[in-house]
Structure 1
Amino acid sequence: MSIEGGSVMNDSVQSLNAASSSMCLFLVALSSYTKTRILAHSYAVLPMLLLSRGLKGTRIPFGLPFIITTNVSTSSFSTNSFNTKHLLFHYLNNRSLEEARAIFDQIPSPHVSLYTIMLHAYAHNRRLREAIDLFHSIPSKDVVSWNSMIKGCLYCGDYVTARKLFDEMPHRTVVSWTTLIDGLLRLGIVEEAETLFWAMNPMERDVAAWNAMIHGYCSNGRVDDALRLFHQMPSRDVISWSSIIAGIDHNGKSEHALLLFRHMVASGVCPSSVGLVCGLSAASKISALRVGIQIHCSVFKLCDWPFDEFVSASLITFYGSCRQMETACRVFGEALCKNVVAWTALLTGYGFNDRHQEALELFGEMIRIGVVPNESSFTSALNSCCGLEDIERGKVIHAAAVKMGLEAGGYMGGSLVVMYSKCGYVTDAVYAFKGINVKSVVSWNSVIVGCAQHGCGMWVLALFNQMLREMVGPDGITLTGLLSACSRSGMLQKARCFFRYFGQKRSVSLTIEHYASMVDVLGRCGELKEAEALVMSMPMKANSMVWLALLSACRKHSNLHVAERAANQIFEMEPDCSGAYVLLSNFYASTSRWAEVALIRRKMKHNGVVKQPGSSWLTLKGRKHEFLSADRSHPLTEKIYQKLEWLGVKLKELGYVPDQQCALHDVETEQKEEMLSYHSERLVIAFGLLSTVEGSTITVMKNLRVCGDCHNAIKLMAKIVDREIVVRDSSRFHHFRNGICSCGDYW
């Protein structure tokens, strides 16, 4: 058995391979290519393959890509007994480095390959200083030990030492160049990697080096440079095609990726399983059903791949993304290897199609039959809990993830943040965020947007400052979260500063969503003239979302002229926009202009526009209890209305007076008060008081904005029953406690 530049034992290969089953599957998928070096080749496509397959939490062993079997005998290890070697590899596999080093030091004149294995272990555990010291003690270094040490430095982020070692090498191979270039690209040092790539001897610059450079460009978002380099390649293999297809697909150009996939097939290149996965990934992202079916047909033509686990999982993901869940289930049923990847793909498909209950049932079945879920599995299950607003099952899944040690992963942690914040538990969301080991911009955005939804403006500012201190670059989603927080907290000057700051950043382009958010901030703060001026000066044409933000603010600040102008703009663009009709009608109703209200309603009827009925609901023991205004369909109706009557008496004792401006119908005063008393959110609160443990929090979800009268009444209800009542309306979360709302009456 041999490796490129050195040798290792068969049992070391087995023990290291066991550290990552997903990597082993990937190597099997590339078995036709392992006759040559796969260092740069596998690294050129594996990360994007794992991302496209939903294996975001999969760990790639540091040393594994160097272990490529060819044919060198094991005689170089003849000085070591079998038991000693077995014990050494056992300790390394279990990360017991001190014990492994003690065994290693007992070996007389260890072969350079054993030194190399120890280097891998130290570097993989980020003990770079010890790895360097051991490297300098090697009596006769070969090229693989040099390459391994360079790779270790890059893995630990020390590219200065890696470059120094590279310059000191007595003899460099193409692998040495490719290792350094690939490592620099992974650290985002693109310009230096480019310089090294073009400094290579053109005769030695093989396809692996080109592939590594293409992958590096794509990983750093430089898709145009990757395409230019791809077209310059003197020769391409199937890895080259797979790398560029996966790269541009991952950067949001899925249509172009499919065109390249078709070009690859037309060029006579037979796609590998990795290539098929890349094509299916691109097709799933743009729901290109016809193209995906064609790729599915090609799977059966290529007899080597029909039952490959990654291809099966990709087909399941593709059909799920195209809302063909029956077909996805059939593919899953026909798969010979139903591993965690296939189960997770089906689980994610159910969630994507809003079949969350079935997704959670599938997750339970997966565990019952002994399939161990990975981080992606937990993430999909948590997303379904979020879709059902079922915090109880979410907590159970969270506990299971903690037992498996997965809660600190970036994707898992981000899903926990989203679930807790969307279910009304913002403090738990922040706690989950703090537990994430490596916080990416996605993690920061999740907690910033979550806190903004709950009106925690000061928390958002503190988080953003910490994000900048930790050198995490904000993006467009960060700005949306910041403006949202400013809007819900009345921080006008902060919003202006953020909008100006991000407008000057070259890395962030202001979108129409950002302008709509800024208009909302200005409007809520009463700066209607400035808001309208911003709408008129936008670099792009304002859509209905922007005008709706202005129209909503006009009602709050009673500016009818601007409201009518905004509404007319919306009606020209979207004659069937129910939101504009409702906002304008409610504006007229609040000022008792009933003739205009009747005219608006006639227009709605003429245009076939139907107002969305207001509803509120509470999820209890996995079951959703939904109520409409004055609803009497629930089995506990009598008790619910009795509880409301009791609350009404207590409210009047505290001085509550109904705000009749919130009654949007032309009826008598007593009828208005009765209509307000039976709004859907009040029915849910009464039901919650009857159905939950005394002292527990009641969390109410509402599809429309809570009216001002209900807002005042719920503040007093929370004081009467001595409970926290959380209401999520279409705008934000309100936390009512002791007669006070978290929004400070600003929403």
Structure 2
Amino acid sequence: MPQPPFLLPMFLVIRVPKSKFYTTPFTTVPRIAIANSISFSFTSISTNSFNIKSHKSLLFHHLKNRTLDEARAVFDQIPSPHVSLYTIMLHAYAHNHRLREAIHLFRQIPSKDVVSWNSMIKGCINCGDFVTARKLFEEMPHRTVVSWTTLIDGLLSLGNVEEAEALFWAMDPLDRDVAAWNAMIHGYFSNGRVDDALRLFRGMPSRDVISWSSMVGGLDHNGKSEQALVIFRDMVASGERLSSVGLVCGLSAAAKISALRVGIQIHCSVLKLGYWCFDEFLSASLVTFYGCCKQMEAACRVFGEAVCKNVVVWTALVTGYGFNDKHQEALEVFGEMMRIGVAPNESSFTSALNSCCGLEDLEKGKGIHAVVVKICLESGGYVGGSLVVMYSKCGYVTDAVYVFKGIKEKSLVSWNTVIVGCAQHGCGMWALAIYNQMLRERVDPDGITLTGLLSACSRSGMLQKARCFFRYFGQKKTVTLTIEHYASMVDVLVRYGELEEAEALVMSMPIKANSMVWLALLSACRKHSNLDVAERAANQIFEMEPGCSAAYVLLSNLYASSSRWAEVACIRRKMKHKGVVKQPGSSWLTLKGRKHEFLSADRSHPLTGKIYQKLDWLGVKLKELGYVPDQKFALHDVETEQKEEMLSYHSERLSIAFGLLSTVEGSTITVMKNLRVCGDCHSAIKLMAKIVHREIVVRDSSRFHHFKNDICSCGDYW
């Protein structure tokens, strides 16, 4: 594997020759001309000149501080202001969405130049008044390529691609410069018109570095990263000098497809061209690239050698650690960034909260939430959405919904996130209420919305609602039913006992069913004791995935619950012969940033003695409440007494006992489990919650269960 290049520590002294030109906002004048023009003494400067200069200085001060009314008062005191001052005021009004005042002032300009016309058109577009922008464009006495390009950009930003195309081709070919071509290419990509962008690029009479970079970035953004790297290679072969933007686009494409060799070559180009020293975005892109390629050691070395470390570079390192499931290290980097005074942005908080989810560490998530509230970022879409995910995955769906309500501009992603979160916690009615609110807000649902709704119906026993949603979305032109949707619908049907209908749906699917669909069918057969359907589903899975351990285990458990021990032994022999290993069941909970994990009948924990004493005490209390172990969930052919003992020390029970010993009286205990909770443990934990007067939350592979006062949030339907 090729090794990435790295810099040795060095110091650069750069000497820049003095220019023979002074640059002003409007003209570039030879220095000798300025010297010759100074033919007056300081004593001849009039008081009026001082007044004009002071007025301009005061005007710019007010504009900088966004006190527009005061700025306008100063502007009105300037006698015969230059058109450039009018243009500055127009820009300020439009930037602050005071378009009516901008238009009124524009009409007062005695001699409008092309810059003022273009600024007014741009201001109208930015304020969303495209009708006025088009009207002004038609009124212009003389249009430049900037005028045309500004209007084309506006049309493309609104999604009016056909109208923009017509305007582009209506331009005089001599005026249609490379900037206009680049604007069309960028607009095509922004509207998902990849083929049109490629066609236009191939027809360009000339290209610059922006043309090439737009193609690489646009293809990468539209999910065609491999094609983006082909264009990047063509750019290098064309002899076009690589810009930092082009290199960033190339690194982004290489990162998304983990093209390590290509990325290292781009890294070499970065060093060769000298962009490395002070370009924070290139440093961040390199850190991200190596992180995506699972090369965190290289990412850390790039970070360490970066000359300028701003928030973008720090965030890239936090994200890289999180992407490689090194969430503890990610949070340590985030903490270090805060300690040295680098202010986090929305991306920083999002990456840190994602790592809190990975660790299932609610306390750290709450700490980050407090910082978010302090700097007023809680209502932002990205950070708000990450908080919703964090609280949902840590077992606090009520807090997730509360955060969601505070998000000011809710995107489709935000709506989908909270619907899926409610579904995971069995809050089906909440999910449907939020969906109805989403429709009232005129947000168009997509395929992810359907997945969340079907999941909500599945975990809340709403069969008819699920059928209606499946039928309705199947008729929507904007949504294509995928294999995940069919698997979710099958799950709804089998949970309700409609095994025949579920199997018929699988057989009639327009796309070939995969193992996920058949597993949904197989997993329900045990609850409904349907061996015929289970065996057919298992055979389908074995044909597609001979080494699928879940199918072997599910079928074996079904035979065991029916006391067909010969078939159980046969399946176990097959698993051993094929080298299929059963995933061991484990449960864990996180306390003070430390994960405590338990296996069934585990005795490796330092508090094992106290944990078993607690379980024995709970066992006595359970029997007093009439609890009788359900031995069909003891999946071994052993004596009755041994079966009861095996059930008593399942991993989730060990975790709960440890939680009772290690947390404050009355607090909620949250346990995570990698497999589905068994029926006997589900019954026992309901009673445990009543005995200890606590809420116990258990997240298994299917959903969250909230146990309180002998009741589970799933309604015994999971």
TM-score, length of structure 1 as denominator length: 0.87
**Structural mapping, 1:91-490, within 5 Å:** 91-304=62-275, 307-490=278-461
Deviation at 1:81, TM superposition (A): 4.5
**Structure 1 pair 595–184 and aligned structure 2 pair: CA distance change class (3 A):** same
**Structure 1 pair 137–468 and aligned structure 2 pair: CA distance change class (3 A):** farther
**Structural mapping, 1:527-546, within 5 Å:** 527-546=498-517
Match of 1:727, SS state, is strand
Deviation at 1:72, TM superposition (A): 7.5
Amino acid at match of 1:172: R
Counting aligned pairs with the same residue, the percent is 85
Match of 2:459, SS state, is helix
Deviation at 1:553, TM superposition (A): 1.8
Deviation at 1:632, TM superposition (A): 1.6
Distance in 1 (CA, whole Å) between partners of 2:475 and 2:199 is 29
The alignment of Structure 1 onto Structure 2 pairs a total of residues equal to 680
Asked if structure 2 preserves the Cα contact closer than 8 Å seen for 1:316 and 1:331, the reply is yes
Higher relative contact order (CA 8 A, sep 6+): 1
**Structure 1 pair 600–213 and aligned structure 2 pair: CA distance change class (3 A):** same
Deviation at 1:69, TM superposition (A): 7.5
Deviation at 1:70, TM superposition (A): 6.0
Kindly report the root-mean-square deviation, in angstroms, between the aligned alpha carbons of the 2 structures: 2.2
**Structural mapping, 1:590-609, within 5 Å:** 590-609=561-580
2:688 is the alignment partner of 1:731:
no
Larger Rg: 2
Deviation at 1:303, TM superposition (A): 3.1
Deviation at 1:442, TM superposition (A): 1.7
What are the Cα deviations for residues 584-612 of structure 1, in whole angstroms up to 9, with x where unaligned? 11111111111111111111111111111
What are the Cα deviations for residues 127-177 of structure 1, in whole angstroms up to 9, with x where unaligned? 333333333344433322222222222222222232233223333221112
Deviation at 1:305, TM superposition (A): 5.1
Distance in 2 (CA, whole Å) between partners of 1:371 and 1:249 is 30
Which residue of structure 2 lines up, in the alignment, with residue 59 of structure 1?
A: none
Distance in 1 (CA, whole Å) between partners of 2:701 and 2:600 is 16
2:28 is the alignment partner of 1:71:
yes
**Structure 1 pair 428–513 and aligned structure 2 pair: CA distance change class (3 A):** same
Distance in 2 (CA, whole Å) between partners of 1:532 and 1:80 is 87
**Structural mapping, 1:496-575, within 5 Å:** 496-575=467-546
Amino acid at match of 1:652: K
Which piece of structure 1 moves more, 437-446 or 568-577? Answer: 437-446
**Structure 1 pair 683–101 and aligned structure 2 pair: CA distance change class (3 A):** farther
**Structure 1 pair 367–165 and aligned structure 2 pair: CA distance change class (3 A):** same
**Structure 1 pair 269–665 and aligned structure 2 pair: CA distance change class (3 A):** same
**Structure 1 pair 203–690 and aligned structure 2 pair: CA distance change class (3 A):** same
**Structural mapping, 1:54-65, within 5 Å:** none
Distance in 1 (CA, whole Å) between partners of 2:358 and 2:411 is 24
Amino acid at match of 1:478: T
Amino acid at match of 1:183: G
Unmatched tracts of structure 2, length 5 or more: 1-23, 38-47
Asked if structure 2 preserves the Cα contact closer than 8 Å seen for 1:617 and 1:626, the reply is yes
Distance in 1 (CA, whole Å) between partners of 2:556 and 2:394 is 31
Which residue of structure 2 lines up, in the alignment, with residue 38 of structure 1?
A: none
Distance in 2 (CA, whole Å) between partners of 1:561 and 1:153 is 68
Distance in 2 (CA, whole Å) between partners of 1:713 and 1:69 is 80
Deviation at 1:272, TM superposition (A): 0.7
**Structure 1 pair 600–304 and aligned structure 2 pair: CA distance change class (3 A):** closer
What are the Cα deviations for residues 287-342 of structure 1, in whole angstroms up to 9, with x where unaligned? 01111111111222223555422111111110110000111111111111111111
Match of 1:489, SS state, is coil
Which residue of structure 2 lines up, in the alignment, with residue 681 of structure 1?
A: 652
Asked if structure 2 preserves the Cα contact closer than 8 Å seen for 1:214 and 1:230, the reply is yes
Match of 1:700, SS state, is strand
Match of 2:28, SS state, is coil
Which residue of structure 2 lines up, in the alignment, with residue 62 of structure 1?
A: none
Amino acid at match of 2:502: A
Unmatched tracts of structure 1, length 5 or more: 1-66
Distance in 1 (CA, whole Å) between partners of 2:341 and 2:202 is 47
Asked if structure 2 preserves the Cα contact closer than 8 Å seen for 1:273 and 1:305, the reply is no
Amino acid at match of 1:331: V
Which residue of structure 2 lines up, in the alignment, with residue 56 of structure 1?
A: none
Amino acid at match of 1:276: L
What are the Cα deviations for residues 17-48 of structure 1, in whole angstroms up to 9, with x where unaligned? xxxxxxxxxxxxxxxxxxxxxxxxxxxxxxxx
Deviation at 1:350, TM superposition (A): 0.6
TM-score, length of structure 2 as denominator length: 0.91
Amino acid at match of 2:576: K
Match of 2:526, SS state, is helix
Which residue of structure 2 lines up, in the alignment, with residue 29 of structure 1?
A: none
Distance in 1 (CA, whole Å) between partners of 2:99 and 2:626 is 70
2:674 is the alignment partner of 1:703:
yes
Asked if structure 1 preserves the Cα contact closer than 8 Å seen for 2:586 and 2:600, the reply is yes
Deviation at 1:702, TM superposition (A): 0.5
Which piece of structure 1 moves more, 242-251 or 88-97? Answer: 88-97
Distance in 2 (CA, whole Å) between partners of 1:409 and 1:85 is 37
Asked if structure 1 preserves the Cα contact closer than 8 Å seen for 2:522 and 2:534, the reply is yes
What are the Cα deviations for residues 250-294 of structure 1, in whole angstroms up to 9, with x where unaligned? 111111111111111112222211111101100000001111111
What are the Cα deviations for residues 610-631 of structure 1, in whole angstroms up to 9, with x where unaligned? 1111111111111111111111
Which residue of structure 2 lines up, in the alignment, with residue 632 of structure 1?
A: 603
Distance in 2 (CA, whole Å) between partners of 1:83 and 1:194 is 47
**Structure 1 pair 261–331 and aligned structure 2 pair: CA distance change class (3 A):** same
Which residue of structure 1 lines up, in the alignment, with residue 9 of structure 2?
A: none
Amino acid at match of 1:465: N
**Structure 1 pair 528–364 and aligned structure 2 pair: CA distance change class (3 A):** same
Asked if structure 2 preserves the Cα contact closer than 8 Å seen for 1:299 and 1:306, the reply is no
Match of 2:497, SS state, is coil
Which piece of structure 1 moves more, 146-155 or 690-699? Answer: 146-155
Asked if structure 2 preserves the Cα contact closer than 8 Å seen for 1:488 and 1:746, the reply is yes
Match of 2:672, SS state, is strand
Amino acid at match of 2:563: S
**Structural mapping, 1:732-747, within 5 Å:** 732-747=703-718
Distance in 2 (CA, whole Å) between partners of 1:554 and 1:216 is 52
Which piece of structure 1 moves more, 194-203 or 286-295? Answer: 194-203
Amino acid at match of 1:632: R
Which residue of structure 2 lines up, in the alignment, with residue 584 of structure 1?
A: 555
2:638 is the alignment partner of 1:667:
yes
**Structure 1 pair 79–246 and aligned structure 2 pair: CA distance change class (3 A):** farther
Distance in 2 (CA, whole Å) between partners of 1:616 and 1:699 is 10
